[in-house]
Structure 1
Amino acid sequence: MKILLVNKYHYVKGGSETYHFGLAKLLEEHGNEVIYFAMQDEKNYDCAQAKYFSKNVDFNKSMSPFEKLTAGMHALYSFDAKKKIEQLIEAEKPDIVHINLVHRHITLSILNAIQKYNIPVVFTAHDLNCVCPTHTMLCGDKVCDRCVAEHSYKPALEQKCVKNSALQTYLAVIEAKNYERMKMYDKIDFYICPSDFYRKQFVKSGITKNPVVHWVNFLPVGTEYKLCSNAKDYFLFFGRLSVEKGLMSLVKAYHKGNFKNKLYLVGDGPLREELENYVKENNLTEKVIFTGFQSGDALKKYVEEAKCVILPSEWYENGPYSILEAIALGKPAIVSNNGGLPEIVDDGKTGFICEPNNPDSLCACLEKMNNLTEDEYLAMSKAALEKARENCDCEKYYEKLMNCYKDLIKAKGGKKI
């Protein structure tokens, strides 16, 4: 089978790309042919289909008023992406298209091109862009589900949810209303949500009449599920150092508990300076360790040697790889009761669950982790490992996905190329 994988970035930028490239490898391991469509970028991996990639759009760079207008129009509907993917389909003739991140850069304009050839479309939801103008269900630093609950984008406009900008929020709402008017989400045949929480948001929003399922993210081909015998006595967060990850709550909880264990913050991001200032002001520099960005074997070593992994997110996480990768190494996890996180961690069995935005609750979880006996800790590690093995196996995922692909192709009655 020939599968066209679509994602705006053709390099690893975050969890969605971990899934995207992991899926490509999984499909190829089973003898399928994978081709790609993405946005042009100097950071892209080499790719035979690169000549078809759509033009790069960087919404964060400084722009003239005309450039802002052009970028805004592109975010609503990219004629360039639609034209380029049509050329790719004509040349490669894929059997199915599997979409990941596309909003605002590639845009859903590509669905009109794909529909012309009667090719089925599968979509994996890595964020909430389909149902929320901000894609995070955050208004400022607070979670908000008003647009979904009220079936209206009026709350977004009232609250200026997108970067506290009336103009940017208005453009995001126009995008959402335009897709609604064109019934774009009904042009996607099958939706995969890595968390049941996300599935429920999609169903509640009513954006599509097509199937929306919950499948836990798989871990990559070659993942070694094992208990680590070389654990040290430190707490670990790894990922992007940003406000929605709950990191200020974490350092405040750590400070409150006066723990002897060190706390490692592995990663980089916009909150780093504020976190470092808090650590210095509270004389924690010898105990809270900033390592900067890490990857590969260096990152794996930090995870293997940690006592537990912490993700106290203050937004609606989906199915984060940081926790899945940790439990596959038998690491207990401490997470907040937000989004898909409590679906991954069983409170008291594979880790502990704290209340979001609550340093006291998080501090209590850290204390509970430290108070486990050796036997209790080992039992928790084994339970975490078993949950990963059961839920994240790539072969089980592949079987479900291929059955889905075949059923969709059969229902479409074949390509028109």
Structure 2
Amino acid sequence: MKILMVNKYNYIKGGSETYYFALKRVLEAHGHTVIDFSMKDEKNVTSPYSEYFVDHVDYNGAGGMFAKFRMAMNIIYSREAKKKFETLVKAEHPDLIHLHIFQHQMSPSILDVIKKYHIPTVYTAHDLKMVCLNYKMMHHGEICEKCIDGHYYHCAVNRCVKNSLSKSCVNVIEGYIHKWRKSYDAIDTIITPSAFYMRKFEEFGISPERIVHIPNFLDREAPVVKHSTDAKKYYLYFGRLSEEKGILTLIKAVTGTNMQLYVVGTGPLKEELADYITKNQLTNIKLLGFKGGQELIDIVGNAKAIILPSEWYENGPYSAIEALQLGRPIVGADIGGIPELVKENGYLFESRNAISLREALEKIEQMDFPTYQQMERASLYLYEENYTQGIHYELLQKVYQNVGITL
């Protein structure tokens, strides 16, 4: 079977691309042909379909008034993406289309092609763009659901997109145009990596019959962890260093304690965090910067627990799934899809509440070793029951079959 997969980045940029390439490997291992449609970029993985990719778009780059106008039009409706997508569809005749992140750089214009050729289509909702114009139901550090029922004008009123009135207005126009045109009706089934996102889509007016929850997965065997001298002596946060991830709340929670915290990653808060740690002489916190490969596996695998302090509606974060596979307990905020990853394997705390987070960490500090081992086993069990390649493919088969495709 030919499956045309669409994602605007054809290289590992984040969790959605991690999923995209893992799914591609799984589908190909089962004998299917996967056709790529993406955006041109020097970082791209080599693809035999790159001639069809849309030209690179950088919305953060400099440019004059005309360039900015063209970019705005591209977000609303990209004629280039529609034309190239249709050319690819006509050349390859896919049996099914599986959409991932396609808005902005490609725009919903490609949905017109799907409607025209009546191709069965599923969409993995890695974010909330379909119901929230800035992707994450959050602006200026606060959760926001004012656009429920398609009242997109709130995005402009609150300058939800990068605190810019002009950028927010472009997204408002995009939202209303595609609502009026019913562009997203081209999608037969929406897959959400978290049950929370499924419920949120339903709350925002998407028919429950169109939505199915399938967790993300890892397509690797459990890696071997090299034991370190500081094993089980530190807590770990690894991921993007940005405000919505709750890293500042985490820093405050361990300030003034003897708990050791390692922070792995980079992002816009990197310098602010370093200054805060230096200014307050926090010797129990180490910023380790970006890590990858076996080095990251060892850091995660030797951690006492992984902390997910998010303050926005997380979906199904890969950092948590990787922690589960390595048998790490999790301390997570009670927001978004995080509670689905914390059962008997850790503790939840009130999002944005440093005191609540500290109390959760203290429970682990005071725990006896047999209870701690039970928590490690609970993480492994949760992974095996929900996040393996085999389970994911089985569930995906059912979704494809429901839209008229047999794998």
Q: TM-score, normalised by structure 1?
A: 0.93
Question: Kindly tell me: are residues 98 and 211 of structure 1, through their superposed partners in 2, closer, same or farther at Cα, counting changes over 3 Å?
Answer: same
Q: 1:195 to 1:83 in 2, by over 3 A?
A: same
* More displaced 10-residue stretch of structure 1: 162-171 or 222-231: 222-231
- 2:316 is the counterpart of 1:332: no
The question of whether the paired residues in 1 share the 8 Å contact of 2:332 and 2:338 is answered with: yes
1:345-392 deviation per Cα after TM superposition (whole angstroms, max 9, x unaligned): 12xx21111111111111111111111110111001101110111011
Q: CA contact under 8 A between 1:226 and 1:328: conserved in structure 2?
A: no
Which residue of 1 is the match for residue 263 of structure 2?
265
* C-alpha distance in structure 2 between counterparts of 1:168 and 1:77, whole Å: 15
1:398 partner amino acid: Y
CA-to-aligned-CA distance 1:17-59 (integer Å, 9 cap, x gap):
0110000011111111111000011110111000000111111
Give identity over the alignment, percent.
43
**In 1, Cα distance between equivalents of 2:295 and 2:84:** 39
Residues 1:227 and 1:267: Cα distance change in structure 2 (over 3 Å): closer
Work out which of the residue numbers 293, 296, 320 in structure 2 matches 1:296: 293
- Cα separation, 1, equivalents of 2:370 and 2:208: 49
Q: Residues 322-342 of structure 1: CA distance to partner in whole angstroms, max 9, x if unpaired?
A: 001101111001111110001
**Higher RCO by CA contacts (8 Å cutoff, separation 6 or greater):** 1
How do residues 156-305 of structure 1 correspond to structure 2 at under 5 angstroms? 156-207=155-206, 211-220=210-219, 222-224=220-222, 231-256=231-256, 258-259=257-258, 261-284=259-282, 286-305=283-302
| Separation in 2, partners of 1:383, 1:274 | 36
**Quick one: distance in 1 between partners of 2:340 and 2:266?**
27
CA deviation vs aligned residue, 1:149-197 (integer Å, no higher than 9, x gap)? x541233232221122221111111111111111111110110001111
How many pairs align? 404
The residue identity in structure 2 corresponding to 1:279 is I
Deviation at 1:116, TM superposition (A): 2.0
1:351 aligns with 2:346: yes
SS of the aligned residue for 1:146 comes to coil
Aligned mates of 1:225, 1:288 — CA distance in 2: 27
* Contact 2:225–2:298 under 8 Å retained in 1: no
Structure 1 residue 227: deviation in Å? 9.5
Residues 18 and 322 of structure 1: CA distance in aligned 2, closer, same or farther (over 3 Å): same
RMSD after superposition: 1.7
1:378 aligns with 2:373: yes
Does the 8 Å CA contact 1:327/1:384 hold for their aligned counterparts? yes
Structure 1 residues 46 and 410, CA, compared in 2 at 3 Å: closer, same or farther?
closer
Q: 1:226: how far off? A: 8.6
Shift of 1:225: 8.0
How far apart are residue 203 of structure 1 and its match? Answer: 1.2
Q: Find the counterpart in structure 1 of residue 4 from structure 2.
A: 4
Q: CA deviation at 1:65?
A: 1.0
C-alpha deviation, 1:107, in angstroms: 1.2
2: CA distance, partners of 1:229 / 1:402: 39
Cα pair distance change 1:410/1:367, threshold 3 Å: closer
SS of the aligned residue for 2:404 comes to: helix
Moved more, 72-81 or 393-402: 393-402
Q: CA deviation at 1:114?
A: 2.2
Contact kept, 8 Å, 1:3 with 1:96, in 2: the verdict is yes
Identify the residue that residue 103 of structure 1 maps to in structure 2: 103
* Residue range with higher mean Cα deviation, 395-404 or 135-144: 395-404
**Pairs within 5 Å for 1:47-66:** 47-66=47-66
Q: CA deviation at 1:404?
A: 2.1
Give yes or no for contact 1:186–1:209 (8 Å, CA) kept in 2: no
Q: Tell me, yes or no, if the aligned pair for 2:332 and 2:339 is still in contact at 8 Å.
A: yes
Structure 1 stretches of 4+ moved >3 Å: 207-210, 225-231
Tell me the secondary structure at the aligned position of residue 319 of structure 1: coil
Residue type of the partner of 1:196?
A
Flag the 1:108–1:210 CA change in 2: closer, same or farther, 3 A: farther
For 1:303 and 1:17, the matched residues in 2 are separated by 21
Q: TM-score normalised to the size of structure 2?
A: 0.96
Q: Does the 8 Å contact 1:237/1:264 carry over to 2?
A: yes
- Within a 5 Å distance, the mapping from 1:312-327 to structure 2 comes to 312-327=309-324
SS of corresponding position for 1:11: coil
Match of 1:293, as an amino acid?
F
Q: Does 1:93 align with 2:90?
A: no
CA distance in 1, matches of 2:49, 2:209: 30
Aligned to 2:359: 364
Q: Tell me how far apart the structure 1 counterparts of residues 340 and 147 of structure 2 sit (CA, whole Å).
A: 24
8 Å CA contact 1:319–1:340 kept in 2: the answer is yes
Going from structure 1 to structure 2, the CA distance change for 1:210 and 1:168 (only over 3 Å counts) comes to: farther
Matched residues in 1 for 2:41 and 2:297: separation?
A: 28
SS of the aligned residue for 2:266 comes to: coil
Q: Are residues 223 and 72 of structure 1, via their aligned partners in 2, closer, same or farther at CA, if it must alter by over 3 Å?
A: same
Distance of 1:212 and 1:5 partners within structure 2: 19
| Structure 1 residue runs without a partner (length 5+) | 412-417
Match of 1:403 among 386, 392, 398: 398
SS in 2 for 1:89: helix
How far apart, CA to CA, are the structure 2 residues paired with 1:118 and 1:304? 47
- Return the alpha-carbon distance in structure 2 between the equivalents of residues 136 and 58 of structure 1: 20
- Per-residue CA deviation, residues 231-286 of structure 1 (Å, 9 max, x unaligned), is 43111011111111000001111104x12x421111110001111111001101x3
**Residues in 2 aligned to 1:185 and 1:48: alpha-carbon distance in whole angstroms:** 28
The letter for the 2-side match of 1:329 is: L
Paired residue type of 2:49: Q
Unaligned runs of 5+ in 2: none
Query: 1-side partners of 2:208 and 2:374: how far apart?
Result: 43
- Aligned residue in 1 for 2:388: 393
Alpha-carbon distance in structure 2 between the residues aligned to 1:136 and 1:86:
30
